[in-house]
Structure 1
Amino acid sequence: MAVSNIDFTSPNVQYTYDLSNNTIFEKNPENYINALGIQQLKTIGNSFLLDVYLSSGNVVEYHYHPNATEVLYCITGAITASLVNPFTKERKQFSLGSGQVVCFPQGWLHDAKATEDDTHLLAVHDTPELQTVWFSDLLRLLPAEQLAYMYCLNESEIKDALQPIHDTVVIGPPRNCERDRQFSGARSAHENMTFQRFPHNLDD
């Protein structure tokens, strides 16, 4: 269906593509996502690929695809992935290693966190043009006063908690995460401390 208008007798028909030519998000050199859809490869048919690279502790944030089911294949490394089942109102979590897959049905909220460095994932979607709703966009765009009113929450606490989210996160934690810097600073200070060695015999 997606390739029905292609003249396959033409010598100009494209059958190959280098995904590294279409990086759609990069947090740093170890954490980034390449994409391949019909805009890059007209012969791809009813498919959209996300080529995901993660280092340990990095997570593709919660999101859902209104127009596609996703099959996530772990090529190398390891992840924990979770989904929210809208029928049972339950969150399920799965551990995946190399060669294993998890399926996220169309419209279901899901995420994936690397538990090893050099994790490489391939996400396959049954649409040539993928739509994605990122949870960070919901958090930063929904008015705090409405959230507070709807769910009987403290508006100022909501504003303070969500204030650092200025952009779509995609791969978290964000590069400018103050929490991580504070933790790293505290850990470094602890590691650099010198301790006085007390004698075993207090009379010495």
Structure 2
Amino acid sequence: MAISYMDYTAPGTQFTFDLRNDLFFRKDAQNYINRLSINDLNTLGNTSLLDIFLTKGNVVEPHYHPNASELVYCISGAAVVSLINPFTNQLLNFPIQPGQVANIPQGWWHYEIATEDSTHLLAIFDAPIPEAIFGSDILRLTPANVWAHAYCLNEKMVKETFAPIKTSTYIGPPKDCVKVQPAAGTRTSSNLQYRG
């Protein structure tokens, strides 16, 4: 929807934009996100988008949008869009291929995982600038003693587990993540470690 009070005859009115000029995040040459918001295109109104490129196994990290719904359109490759229905607490997984979409209501926890190389997704929002709360931020910014107390966990283990998360992840796993096999007889909740 266009902004009704905009002067469409003004010299600064923008009708086009090259998404390559607003890089939101780059993990590497095959895994990155370009952005388009009202800050890039002043005639955009209540719409924005993320242009997402992923290789197989890469994930747009778990997050939610407090101010926008998201429609994920698959242009190429394939992905699984997963969300948690807050009314049923059910994890829902929606595989999408070119030409297919998955809709995520505003405020729902979700993530996307590429199931093929050269996956290209377009995430379309009903807000001029979508806000996002990322899982990596929740994990690293909540004090370890709060996690330990709230869930009866070992605080030292919580600190060690979350220590590698230094910034927002956006596209995971991080480049410095390597899989390791636990020692025989060792119980572990994860086989991923980070090299720093």
- Are the structure 2 counterparts of residues 13 and 85 from structure 1 closer, same or farther at C-alpha, using a change threshold of 3 Å? same
Residue in 2 aligned with 1:192?
A: none
Mapped partners of 1:63, 1:9: distance in 2:
39
In the alignment, what sits opposite 2:108? 108
SS at match of 1:44: coil
Structure with bigger gyration radius: 1
CA offsets, 1:136-173, max 9 Å, x none? 00000111111111111111111111111111000000
SS of alignment partner, residue 123 of structure 1 = strand
> Aligned partners of 1:102 and 1:71: how far apart in 2?
6
Structure 1: which 5+ runs fail to align? 184-204
2: CA distance, partners of 1:13 / 1:172: 37
Structure 1 residues 144 and 2: CA distance shift in structure 2, 3 A? farther
- What does residue 71 of structure 2 align with? 71
Partners of 1:96 and 1:72 lie apart in 2 by 9
Question: For residues 1-204 of structure 1, what are the structure 2 equivalents within 5 Å?
Answer: 3-177=3-177, 179-180=178-179, 182=180
Aligned partner of residue 71 in structure 1, secondary structure: strand
Q: Secondary structure at the match of 1:102?
A: strand
Query: Which runs of no fewer than 5 residues in structure 2 stay unpaired?
Result: 182-196
The residue number in structure 1 matching 2:188 is none
In structure 1, C-alpha distance between the alignment counterparts of 2:108 and 2:2, rounded to whole Å: 24
Separation in 1, partners of 2:12, 2:109: 40
- The letter of the residue matching 1:35 is R
Residues in 2 aligned to 1:155 and 1:9: alpha-carbon distance in whole angstroms? 60
When normalised by structure 1's length, the TM-score is: 0.85
Deviations 1:1-28 (A, max 9, x none): 7622321123542111100000010000
> CA–CA distance in 1 between the matches of 2:10 and 2:146?
56
For the 8 Å contact 1:56–1:115, the answer to whether it is kept is yes
- Structure 2 residue identity aligned to 1:145: N
- Of stretches 10-19 and 21-30 in structure 1, the one that deviates more from structure 2 is 10-19
Q: Contact 1:2–1:128 (CA<8 Å) still a contact in 2? A: no
Report how many residues are paired.
Answer: 181
SS of aligned partner of 2:112: strand
CA RMSD of aligned residues (A): 1.4
Contact 1:70 1:123 in 2 (8 A): yes
Retained in 2: the 8 A contact 1:23–1:33?
yes
Amino acid at match of 2:42: K
Q: Which residue of 2 aligns with 1:188?
A: none
With structure 2 as the length reference, what TM-score do the two structures score?
0.89
Q: Which structure features the higher share of helix residues? A: 1
Secondary structure in 2 matching 1:50: strand
